[in-house]
Amino acid sequence: MGGPFARSNNIVLYASFKINAQGLPKNTPEYFAHFVGGNANHGRVYAGITNANTGSFRLFVANGSDSTTMLPTDLDINTS
């Protein structure tokens, strides 16, 4: 409970990565990372400017569907 997705099969995936955004993504979020199990996508990470302040972007996550959950933090380009 409290995650961006419905829990099922008692499986939890933890992932960590760094992103270096050198420019703003498109208006409509597009995924740049995905996790695959068997023959299906089970998780995607998107970047987009939806609901972000001018000059910033946000990350979104999704389970196996195209329904996304927006993370509540604005991120800036060219920032470590």
Q: Which two tokens stand for residue 8?
A: 């099922």
Q: Number of folded domains in the chain?
A: 1
pLDDT of residue 24: 92
Instruction: State the amino acid at position 26 in one-letter form.
Output: K
Strands 30-37, 56-62: parallel, antiparallel or unpaired by DSSP?
unpaired
Evaluate the CA torsion angle 56, 47, 23, 28 in order and state its sign: negative
pLDDT in tens, 19-78: 888 889 888 888 888 877 666 657 888 899 988 999 999 988 887 666 778 888 999 988
Which 8-state DSSP code applies to residue 53? P
User: Cα–Cα distance between 40 and 33 in angstroms, integer?
Assistant: 14
Domain that holds residue 42: 1-80
